[in-house]
Amino acid sequence: MLMEKRMYIALIFVAAFLCSYAQQSDKSTYLAHIRQADSLYMAGDPAGASRAFEAAFYQTEHIQPYHLYNAACAAAKAGDNGLAFDRLFKRIALEKEWYSDRIETDGDLQPLHADTRWQLLLDTLTARQHRAERDFDIPLRRKLQQIAASDQQVRTAYIRAIESGANGIVTDSLIAEMQRTDSLNLREISSILDSRGWVGKTKVGDACTAFFLVIQHSDPAIQERYLPLLRQGAVLGDIQPLQVAMLEDRIAVSKGEPQRYGSQVLRHGDGSYYIAPLLDAERVDEWRREVGMGPVAEYLKRWGIQWPAPEGCNRAGN
């Protein structure tokens, strides 16, 4: 009987391990499809992006609601209005408090405007917005939205210039504009955080993500200064834990210290990439899972980095 009991316990352990492994594998597959979808969309292939999103959504337990919105944009641009609406209404069903006050001006969804379902969608989101914003600081929300928009607009313009092969005069001009924008935005964000502390979704909705957007582009000393407030935002669910994790890694690497989550990749003189020293190579995937990151091997594969690293090259100080 004792032998049978031990075997039973062992089988439970094996089953649990296999289940956990399968879940990690499914999530990696999901994220790989999402990355493919994003790449296809940026490359001007909305139909291909929509198919890649659909492949990701087969992993139903890993669906992130905001991916459904991006997938709806891809479907709309590809001419599949029915699928676009299915994805938008699925996000509404999954994320009970989600709404968007910018959906009407999203050019990617323009093909849906003539459909009778569009007004139903708007009515649903407007009702949610009115309920959610009763206690909002609307002027601050608008300011943060403007800051976030300016942060992303100049970077999008720079990426498009690089992809189109623009000359150095154009790209240098965009870099200068980016620096000016970052400086102005940081002044605004610092003033808010210094005077009010963390301001989250209960007061400004999803506009609170502007704090992270601006701080992540600042100098390491500024990042470290506001890290406690960003951690507070992650605990409250206002920003994603993985965003804070990446910032923690960036700060550590800038100080010559080992990183915890393995998000920071550096470049050799010959142009090849390598992962910055880790705090603990054996525990890095455990820590990554805790903040919603996929396995480090999958992440490094995109950079052409071998993982596990050769013996003696995967720990801090080696």
Give residue for tokens 């492949």. Answer: 55
The rounded mean pLDDT for the chain is: 88
Q: Is the pLDDT of residue 94 over 90?
A: yes
Q: What is the pLDDT of residues 158-169, one digit of tens each?
A: 888 888 888 888
Distance of CA 168 to the CA centre of its chain: 30
One-letter identity of residue 137: D
> Which amino acid is it at 29?
T
Q: Is the pLDDT of residue 2 over 90?
A: no
Q: CA–CA separation, 48 vs 38, rounded Å? A: 10
Burial (0-12, 13-18, 19+ Cβ within 10 Å), 31: buried
Look at residue 23 and tell me whether its pLDDT is greater than 80: no
Percentage of the chain beyond pLDDT 70 is 89
pTM > 0.75: no
- Alpha-carbon distance of 63 to 26, in angstroms, equals 11
Paired tokens of 317: 């100080």
